[in-house]
Structure 1
Amino acid sequence: MSASRDDFVIAIRSAFLKKGNRQKFSLFTLLVISCLILSLEYFKSGPIDKFRSVTKDIIYRGSYVVSLPFKLMSDAYVKIQDHMNMFNDYKLLKEKEYNISSLENDLKFYKSENKKLKKFINEEPLLEGEYVITKVLIDKESPYIKSLIINKGFESGIEKGMAALDRSYMIGKVVETNYLSSRILLINDLNSKIPVIVEPDNIKAILNGSGSDYGLLEYLPKNDTVDNGNIVYTSGSDGIFLPGIPIGKVEVVNGIKNVKFFSDLTQLDFVKIRYIKRGQN
């Protein structure tokens, strides 16, 4: 039993020695071949030159063939990246083109509106002296009452029915005056009803307050052409407000024609009151 085990150990050791000899021989062979190839550079005879040339061609061609799949993959990746970048650039250009086209359309529309408005108000300039600037003292805001208390009254020439503006936009009218204060009924109050026109088709309607951030267009003619983006102005047909004061823009929701006011009626600090001269409407 002991002898057989010793034979087995000797056999394994011999195998490893043979394997080590083979590895040494392989390494030695590669070194010899490398030296021979390098030494060929120093010989200029015809057969050696041809052999050297053929060997280099084989190496170069082999390197090219081996690297070809990697090069193709790299080129394909670059092309895909270029295509994606080109697609993204195309999308950006289309968006810019759409935005430019939209801005051009808006510019044309506003130019048209400006011409109509100038013609509508007979091109009479609104002088700065026709207004009085007031400060908001109290904001009476509730689900039913939308009004402001301002710091000037009839002592400053303010009277009932005068228009209240935020910048150049209509926001309400004076409904109560005291010596040093007045109350303004805002256009979104449930009791507010203002005759208006809707441009560009000059459609007459009544703007009712809804108690919210929007007004409602009512008493429109049948088959009206009121649509999103139309501008709403005072018509002046009631003899109280001057015509052509901008109020807001139409937003149609489920067939209901709302008016989004140009002014944020919850953020008013100062209000302009427009004087009404006697004989002026």
Structure 2
Amino acid sequence: MPVAGHIGQGPPPFFKRGPAPLARLLFFLALALLLMAADLRYPAIESVRTALAALLWPLQKIVMLPVQGAREAGVYFADIARLQQENEELRERQLAQANLLLRQAHLDGENRRLRALLDMGERLDVPAKAAEVLYAARDPFSRRIVIDRGLTHDVQAGQAVIDDVGVIGQVTRVFPLVSEVTLLTDKRQAISVQVARNGLRAVLTGAGSGAMELRYLPANAEVEPGDTLLTSGLDGVYPPGLPVARVMRVERDNAHSFARIECAPLAGVERQGQVLVLGKRVAPPLPEDAPEQPKQSGKGRKASTAR
């Protein structure tokens, strides 16, 4: 059959392979040896090779562009990742340093306030004990705070409370470990004061919401905005000379007998941290009564007169 005869003759021309691999290997080896010998023997081939290299250089650049682009892209993205990591580390370090700076500033402020409190306590002639404000009382109708000193610390109701600037308020309720202080701005608080400029005495009362009022002063009273009010000491609670408030506004109306005088507290009434609880002033002892002279009788007086 034709098919059998064709199979016996070998593969069809379409599937014919070229020279044998061994023959190709020998051919290329011989060609390589020939080129090496010619390169060593004939220097003119160097110029040919240089010309071929110059001609093929653009093609080499084009072929190397994807490889070079991939390499540069890898370096670029690696740099981006490294810079992002360094940026994150620097941000964390900056936040940590900012927290340290804030804490340091807070501690410095506390140290200054404590030092000022100690200086204030040394200037007063009354015993004092330091306390810290824990929180503000949860009462929208009053202005009160709670401090960390109570009966176990010999705190009593009625004691004055000051900070490094001036008067804050008065202890009104005492518990075993804490005490409640009513601020000067409370509407139920009143304090005897005097104007530092001229010594004019008056009663300063709380008006709520951080304000105070000087009451019962005639419309022609010598009080001006900017005047400083000090404790007079007449109420027996606050030592004399402590800063209390500053006059902010004075309204005089001839239709009213009294002037309306608004004041603002000087001490940190709404921003306390550390405070001093003042003890009671020790009153000087009363002078002893002079011994009474014995009364002489009438006869004795006459006898002495006769002599």
Q: Does residue 176 of structure 1 match 2:167?
A: no
Instruction: Kindly tell me the number of residue pairs found equivalent between the two proteins.
Output: 157
Aligned to 2:276: 272
Question: Alpha carbons of 1:128 and 1:219: their partners in 2 closer, same or farther (altered >3 Å)?
Answer: closer
Q: Distance in 2 between matches of 1:127 and 1:186?
A: 21
How does the TM-score come out when normalised to structure 1? Answer: 0.52
Q: CA offset at residue 143 of structure 1?
A: 4.2
Tell me which of 267, 270, 275 is aligned to 1:263.
267
Q: Does residue 239 of structure 1 match 2:236?
A: yes
Tell me which of 232, 246, 249 is aligned to 1:249.
246
Q: Does residue 206 of structure 1 match 2:203?
A: yes
Q: Does residue 195 of structure 1 match 2:192?
A: yes
Question: Alpha carbons of 1:140 and 1:235: their partners in 2 closer, same or farther (altered >3 Å)?
Answer: same
Q: CA offset at residue 135 of structure 1?
A: 1.1
Q: Distance in 1 between matches of 2:133 and 2:237?
A: 22
Q: Distance in 1 between matches of 2:125 and 2:165?
A: 11
Pairwise CA RMSD: 2.2
Q: CA offset at residue 126 of structure 1?
A: 2.4
Q: Distance in 2 between matches of 1:213 and 1:133?
A: 24
Q: CA offset at residue 132 of structure 1?
A: 1.0
Question: Alpha carbons of 1:142 and 1:176: their partners in 2 closer, same or farther (altered >3 Å)?
Answer: closer
Deviations 1:26-66 (A, max 9, x none): xxxxxxxxxxxxxxxxxxxxxxxxxxxxxxxxxxxxxxxxx
Q: Distance in 2 between matches of 1:247 and 1:227?
A: 16
Larger Rg: 2
Amino acid at match of 2:209: S
CA contact (8 A) 1:247 1:261 kept: yes
Q: Distance in 2 between matches of 1:237 and 1:127?
A: 16
Where does the alignment leave 5 or more consecutive residues of structure 1 unmatched?
1-123
Q: Distance in 2 between matches of 1:200 and 1:155?
A: 41
CA contact (8 A) 1:143 1:211 kept: no
Aligned to 2:94: none
Q: CA offset at residue 262 of structure 1?
A: 1.1
Q: Does residue 137 of structure 1 match 2:141?
A: no
Q: CA offset at residue 155 of structure 1?
A: 1.7
Q: Distance in 2 between matches of 1:248 and 1:142?
A: 24
Q: CA offset at residue 162 of structure 1?
A: 1.0
Q: CA offset at residue 183 of structure 1?
A: 0.7
Q: CA offset at residue 270 of structure 1?
A: 1.6
CA contact (8 A) 2:193 2:203 kept: yes
